[in-house]
Amino acid sequence: MEVFGDNSCPPSCNTLGFLQKNNSLEEKGRLAGHKNLLSCDNSDRDARFRLTETDFSNLFARDLLPAKNGEEPTIQFLLEMVDILTTYVKKTFDRSTKVLDFHHPHQLLEGMEGFNLELSDQPESLEQILVDCRDTLKYGVRTGHPRFFNQLSSGLDIIGLAGEWLTSTANTNMFTYEIAPVFVLMEQLTLKKMREMIGWPNGEGDGIFSPGGAISNMYSVMIARYKYYPEVKTKGMSAAPRLVLFTSEHSHYSIKKAGAALGFGSENVILLSTDERGRVIPADLEAKIIDAKQKGYVPLFVNATAGSTVYGAFDPINEIADICEKYNLWLHVDGAWGGGLLMSRKHRHKLNGVERANSVTWNPHKMMGVPLQCSAILVREKGILAGCNSMCAGYLFQPDKQYDVNYDTGDKAIQCGRHVDIFKFWLMWKAKVSKASGNGPGVIIIYIFIQMLCTLKPQHTNVCFWYIPPSLRDMPDGEERREKLHRVAPKIKAMMMESGTTMVGYQPQGKNVNFFRMVVSNLAATQSDIDFLIDEIERLGRDL
């Protein structure tokens, strides 16, 4: 096993050190506070509702509310669904279950033991609908399983889950205060808190929740363009000079996507070189700005990444901000992955200088464990989002409403209808944020595992490594070894998915052939789970 991405990391600085600390602190947290838990007795006295044995085989969707006499079948159907879901929740946290039961697309499409994905033209009974739901979960992937390390978003937060169930039930839309009064206010208060965490004075500024980090990053480019060339909104890109954007070669691909979509062109997104830990080299930024200007381009925007996707690197924001000020450029910080560290007094220094940014992307659905989707774009200048995006549709944003229409936030968005992404996050904040003893305000319980990383050189919870099978251990470095090593991770990953025991991602990056990227963002993961992953990689890969 070779750990890379931090050449200065001493041999003792391995994942085990992290894990022991992780485990001990985690257990301490978990063992607290059960004193007053009532045992689940099965006496009837306290039961307020129950799932009765209902025959759903002759019931159909048309028998549910709003049908006459639909209330009882509706409640029983929903409770039956809850039985399926709570069983799934229990299994998700049960290490004796698999992470997934892998099948190829053609197998699922052919139908698995009666699970037929095809859409029919005869309504199914509610019994069959419930069976479909069980099967959907059976053949899916347990992203909350303690041994799922595959993605930056993982875990299954119970408060967040309950919040999302409520959101679905409320089934409303964020565009106006009129139909989402409570959620709109929750969004405003939460965005203000997030801006305070960033360090903008009094939490002033602007922001909105968007359907993910890529869209949040797209917003940042749009508002930068609007700030410097507002006439582009009405006249198009021909009203601006040839603009260029700058971002790390390790940054998320959404910056390039935004460049392509918004009419800059992906080639006008200039990639910056990084140091051995994946951080932007500020001198390279300045050199490329000067070079672009000499070629007749106009630099507009710099993205600094706080927590890169693969290495978990933090670009040096202050040094980048100095250059942005010198050349009068918009500074965006993509903290989709690392933004959550702003909640930690101990780790927020990794984002030092973030308060100098003009805009920040921060995805609570990643490091903070909020269920998908939950991403915010935060902006220092008030009113610029509305300036950039408003079209003043008369049927939604009537100026003659009886309430203060400044609370109608929909016209700031590039969306019209907008899903309620705030409630689960607001609820988790209410349930979890604490002035933890010794840490001061702003330490959120769900970060507990991050605190164990501080002695490690990797800047974040990304751990990137190769597994070197015995057959390659004595082979001299060179093209042949590289080619063989490149094939190791995909082979192990394939076997891992077939066995369904754990999941971890892999990819090449630059000159590095395929390597594993383990990400810890799931509070359920303990040392034993990471040991399990390592053992599993060894077991599956030793004969390659």
Return the residues of window 179-198 that contact a copy of itself according to CB under 8 A.
Answer: 179-183, 185-186, 189-190, 193
Among 254, 459, 502, 521, binds a copy of itself (CB under 8 A): 254
Positions in 259-318 near a copy of itself (CB under 8 A): 259-268, 309-310
Contacts (Cβ under 8 Å, ≥6 apart) of 473:
none
Q: Which two tokens stand for residue 335?
A: 């903290």
Q: Rule CB under 8 A: say whether 246 interacts with a copy of itself.
A: no
Cα end-to-end span (Å), the chain: 14
Which of the residues 196 through 235 are near a copy of itself (CB under 8 A)? 211-215, 218, 222, 232-235
CB of 518 to a copy of itself, least distance (A): 13
C-alpha 5/C-alpha 465 separation (Å) is: 8
Q: Is 25 in the site for a copy of itself (CB under 8 A)?
A: no
State how far Cα 185 lies from the chain centre: 23
Q: If we measure between CA atoms, which residue out of 364, 368, 359 comes closest to residue 330?
A: 359
Question: Residue 169: what are its φ and ψ, rounded to 5°?
Answer: -70, -40
153 touching a copy of itself, by CB under 8 A: yes
Which DSSP string do the residues of 206-250 spell out, in sequence order? EEEEESSHHHHHHHHHHHHHHHH-TTHHHH-GGGS--EEEEEETT
Residue of the chain from 2, 27, 275, 531 that contacts a copy of itself (CB under 8 A): 27
Position among 165, 228, 327, 532 found at the interface with a copy of itself (CB under 8 A): 165
Size of the site for a copy of itself (CB under 8 A): 208
Helix spans in 411-505 (H): 422-432, 470-473, 479-499
For residue 517, give the amino acid letter.
Answer: R
Q: Are 331 and 355 in contact (CB under 8 A)?
A: no
Structure tokens at 536: 């599993």
- Among the listed residues 34, 295, 473, 511, the single contact to a copy of itself using CB under 8 A: 34
Taking the least distance from each CB to a copy of itself, the nearer of 282 and 303 is 303
Residue 517 as a binder of a copy of itself (CB under 8 A): the answer is yes
Minimum CB–partner distance for residue 3 and a copy of itself (Å): 18
> Of the two residues 18 and 449, which places its CB atom closer to a copy of itself in the complex?
449
Residue 280 CB contacts under 8 Å (≥ 6 apart), including other chains = 248, 272, 273, 274, 304, 305, 315, 316, 320
Among 14, 74, 273, 352, binds a copy of itself (CB under 8 A): 74
What tokens does 56 get?
């759903």
Closest by alpha carbon to 519, among 319, 344, 340, 392? 340
Show the binding pattern over residues 373-412: x = contacts a copy of itself (CB under 8 A), - = does not: x-x-------------x-x-xxxx-x-xxxxx--x-----
Which CB, 8 or 43, lies closer to a copy of itself? 43
Taking the complex as a whole, how short is the minimal distance between the CB of residue 97 and a copy of itself, in angstroms? 13
Question: Do residues 230 and 254 touch, judged by C-beta distance below 8 A?
Answer: no
Residue range at the interface with a copy of itself (CB under 8 A); choices 16-24, 320-328, 421-429, 469-477 = 421-429
Crossing angle (nearest 10°) for helices 317-327 and 282-294: 20
Strands 503-509 vs 148-149: parallel, antiparallel or unpaired = parallel
> Between 326 and 401, whose beta carbon lies closer to a copy of itself?
401
Structure tokens at 147: 């041994």
CB of 144 to a copy of itself, least distance (A): 6
Contacts to a copy of itself from residues 80-139, by CB under 8 A: 81-86, 88-90, 93, 102-106, 108-109, 117-124, 126, 128-129, 132-133, 136-137, 139
Q: Using omega within 30 degrees of 0 as the cis cutoff, is the peptide bond preceding 373 cis?
A: yes
Q: Is 9 in the site for a copy of itself (CB under 8 A)?
A: no
CB of 205 to a copy of itself, least distance (A): 17
CB of 75 to a copy of itself, least distance (A): 5
